[in-house]
Amino acid sequence: MALRETFRQLRQPAMRRGTINLALASFVSAASEGAGFVLLVPLLASLDATTGQASILPTGLELKLPVLLALFVALVALRAAAEVWRALSVQDLSRALVDSLRMTAVQGMLGARWRWLSGLREGEAEALLVSDINRCAYAVEMLASLVRLTLALAALLAAALVVSPPAALVAAAGALLTYLLFAPVRRRARAIGEDLSERHDAIHANLSRTMRGLRVIKSFEKESEHASLLDHGFSSLRRTERAYIGSNALAQAILQIGGAIVAALAIWAAVAKLSIPLPTVLTLAAIFVRALPLVGQVQAHAQGWAHAAPAFDNARRFIEASQAHTDTAASAPAPNFRTVLSLRDVGVRFAGRESALEHINMEIPANCLVAICGPSGSGKSTLADICSGLTSPDTGTVAIDGTCLEGAMLRSWRSRTAYVQQEPVIFGGTIRDNLRFADAKATDDCMWAALEDAHAGFVREIPGGLDCPVGATGRELSGGEKQRIALARALLRSPDLIILDEATSALDSASEKAIAEALRRMTKKTTVIAIAHRGILPELADQVIRLERGRVVAP
């Protein structure tokens, strides 16, 4: 499967030229080496000291010694140039393939429906995009080397057939038998490669949890425990890698010994049984000495391919899954929310779980503040996702002013909404950079107006104002400041609907009050749905919707 996927990727128009270059460079390198060994026969057997001439088997064509030596040097130079060409072709091709796979995976992930994205395992996408796809580059290098080595062995076999067909066939049969006997070793290399992918997934998941929870880890003085957990993951990874290296080294040792025995038997048979002349035997010996490490390298690179191939399978499965869940294109004009957002008998069910929402019937008037309350796991965030068009219900209908949100209309409606999550996402850079994430063409006046509407006038008082650096993930700002910047960014989109998911749950009372007042004022221009467990928002809301176990209950 991985081999078929690799060749399918290499046949793509963007990589076809690189694949052809690699094949040609490998062929020239192998052919020049084989031709060089054929020249050994006339140099050893037919050199005439009187005339300084030699014949090239099997045609009997006679050439002077300087010409033969010049040919030999030319072949060596040709092979060296071909190797440089091949090395650059491998690098270009492996990078192009990795970039293509990575961008296909990224585009598939970004274009997938939210329902599928939210079901990804923690660290799964990061492990694929960073570790597995990088291993695909290693797999391409192994495959390219296998092509080169196979062609080189074929060229040496052709040279040996020119010199002595019987001895060449005996040696070829021995080499093929040895390679086939090592099939279990290659299967073990693949099993180790699959285990390596799992180890990478676990490490990325642990790293993700650790980085997100640094504050909690330090406050509970759990630094050493988390360091030990990560150390265990890295140690497991190293043990898996060591198992592969050990298996590879042992296979090489056995292969070298077995190959030496086969070569010795072939030369013995050539001298004792086939009565081949000594100069020819010496040429065969030179060919076998050169071929022996190549057979070992074929086995090693075959193991390397088997070890890295699972990364291709992982990438293929991820890309196919993401493309199977591609979001519908926004081909229809977005509906304008002027009167009411209505849900009729809406239900959502996640695989392996109870219904997240069931029989939801409700209406949300335009230009009002709606609070969605309820205990954790009651379906609040799922209901917000349905209202914002981020996902579609499994049953029932959602409509804006009577226009049903489904298919292309659902995606279009998303352009008229804005989402502010519980932990506000603030990007590195300046406040201006973060605001322009919503509208790249926003003027300073528009940004200041949005900041005022979001009760974020503090920006005027800080050094730099709009151009104040916020640090990575907004660490230079307080929780309330980040939340208000995120709210201003949402407002810059001029949405018909703003969703706030627990936007005030982690704030102090002053910050909560400031944001609540800002939300109250926003209803003059837009509709606001705020998810809240408790606090001031339900008290200020025009409508309170309470959920329990996925159903609407009386407030």
Write out pLDDT tens, residues 106-155.
Answer: 888 888 888 888 777 766 777 777 777 877 887 888 888 888 888 887 88
Q: Are residues 273 and 362 in the same domain?
A: no
Q: What string of H, E and C letters represents the secondary structure of 436-476?
A: CCCCCCCCHHHHHHHHHHCCCHHHHCCCCHHHCECCHHHCC
Asked whether residue 332 is domain-assigned, the answer is no
Question: Which DSSP letter does residue 548 get?
Answer: E
Please tell me whether residues 366 and 317 are part of one structural domain.
no
pLDDT band at 341 (very low <50, low <70, confident <90, very high): very high
Residues 370, 263 within the same domain = no
Strands 53-56 and 61-64: antiparallel
Residues 6 and 127 in one domain: yes
Q: Pick from 324, 354, 374: which residue ends a domain? A: 324
Does 333 map to a domain?
Answer: no
Tell me, yes or no, whether 114 lies in a domain.
yes
Q: What percentage of the chain's residues is helix, strand, coil (to nearest 5)?
A: 65, 15, 25
Greater confidence, 279 or 423? 423
HSE-CB for 454 with a 13 A CA cutoff? 29
Q: In angstroms, how far is CA 22 from the centroid of its own chain?
A: 24
1, burial (CB in 10 Å: exposed 0-12, middle 13-18, buried 19+): exposed
Taking Cα atoms as reference points, which of 518, 372, 392, 367 lies closest to residue 457?
A: 518
In the structure encoding, which two tokens stand for residue 57, read together? 């088997």
- Same-domain pairing of 201 and 314: yes
In the predicted model, is pLDDT for residue 54 greater than 50? no
The whole-chain average pLDDT of the chain stands at: 76
| Structural domain includes residue 421 | yes
Using CA atoms, how far apart are residues 503 and 198, in angstroms rounded to an integer? 36
419: in domain: yes
- Dist CA 292 CA 276 (whole Å): 21
Please state, in angstroms and rounded to a whole number, the distance separating the CA atoms of residues 240 and 238. 5
Residues 10 and 141 in one domain: yes
Kindly state whether residues 244 and 309 are assigned to the same domain.
yes
- In a 13 Å sphere around the CA of 249, the CA atoms on its Cβ side amount to 6
Q: Within this chain, do residues 86 and 148 fall inside the same structural domain, yes or no?
A: yes
Q: Which of 324, 356, 386 corresponds to the end of one domain?
A: 324
The secondary structure of 511-529 as a DSSP string is HHHHHHHHHHHHTTTSEEE
pLDDT confidence bin for 344, thresholds 50/70/90: very high
Distance (Å, whole) CA 95 – CA 99: 6
Cβ–Cβ under 8 Å, residues 490 and 419: yes
Does residue 201 carry a pLDDT above 70? no
pLDDT 10s digits, 404-434: 888 788 888 888 888 888 777 788 788 898 8
**Can you read off the two tokens belonging to residue 446?**
């528009």
- For residues 65 and 195, which has the higher predicted lDDT (pLDDT)? 195
Give the whole-angstrom CA distance, residue 497 versus residue 491: 10
- Residue 459, domain member (yes or no): yes
> Is 247 inside any structural domain?
yes
Nearest Cα to 99, choosing from 158, 12, 179?
A: 12
Q: How confident is the model at residue 255 (pLDDT cuts 50, 70, 90)?
A: low
Calculate what percentage of the chain has a pLDDT beyond 70.
Answer: 74
Q: Based on the fold, state whether residues 411 and 313 are members of the same structural domain.
A: no
Same domain (yes/no): 115, 196:
yes
The model's confidence at residue 219, banded by pLDDT at 50, 70 and 90, is: low
Q: What is the CA radius of gyration of the chain?
A: 34
Domain termination site, one of 274, 299, 324: 324
pTM: 0.64
If one compares 466 and 222, the residue with the highest pLDDT of the two is 466
The two beta strands, 403-404 and 543-548, are unpaired
CA distance 306 to 162: 34
Q: Pick from 393, 400, 402: which is nearest to 345 by CA?
A: 393
Tokens standing for 262? 């086969």
**Domain annotation covers residue 335:** no
Task: Catalogue the E-assigned strands of 20-140.
Answer: 53-56, 61-64
Altogether, the residues listed in the chain come to a count of 555
Same domain, 319 and 467: no
Dihedral of CA atoms 513, 519, 523, 524 in degrees, nearest 10, equals 80
Residue 304 has what pLDDT? 75
For residue 545, the domain's CATH number is 3.40.50.300
pLDDT at 59: 46
Q: Are 352 and 315 found together in one domain?
A: no
CB 230 within 8 A of CB 210: yes
Q: For the residues 432-444, what does the mean pLDDT come to?
A: 88
Tokens of 67: 């010409």
What is the number of domains present in the chain? 2
Q: Tell me the pLDDT tens digit for each residue of 161-189.
A: 777 777 777 777 776 776 677 677 667 76
Which residues constitute the domain of residue 128? Answer: 2-324
Instruction: Name residues whose C-beta falls within 8 Å of residue 172's C-beta, 6 or more positions apart in sequence.
Output: 157, 160
On whether the CB atoms of residues 253 and 219 are closer than 8 A, the answer is no
Residue type, 496: D
CA 381 – CA 294 distance, rounded (Å): 60
Q: What's the CATH code of the domain at 140?
A: 1.20.1560.10
